[in-house]
Amino acid sequence: MHATAKVFTTGNSQAVRLPRAFRLDAAEVWITRNEATGELVLKPKPAPDDLAAFLQELRAQPQGTAPFIPPRDDAPAADPLADWAGSES
């Protein structure tokens, strides 16, 4: 979707008046600039409650890695030369 927005200055800050179709449901945004193209990207900053809810859900997930990583034997391998008497002639 493309639209035109007005850019204006308020005090020492520059602002952009967003059209209705681009309204954000956030109190703050993260902003990044692509140095090569000059494009700006706005991303809604999650509210602290959103982060707490995410972490709570993450902690509620099953613990452990058994379904993903098969068990393995970490015991050291036997010495292949333990029974070798040598070649003393």
Q: Which of 33, 13, 24, 15 is nearest to 5 (CA)?
A: 15
Q: pTM score, two decimals?
A: 0.51
Q: State residue 67's pLDDT score.
A: 66
Instruction: Please tell me the distance from the alpha carbon of residue 44 to that of residue 51, in angstroms, as a whole number.
Output: 13
Lookup: tokens for 27: 């109190």
Tell how strand 13-17 and strand 6-10 pair up: antiparallel
Residues 6+ apart with CB under 8 A from 14: 7, 8
pLDDT digits (tens, 9 = 90+) for 25-73: 888 999 999 999 999 999 998 888 888 888 898 888 877 666 677 778 8
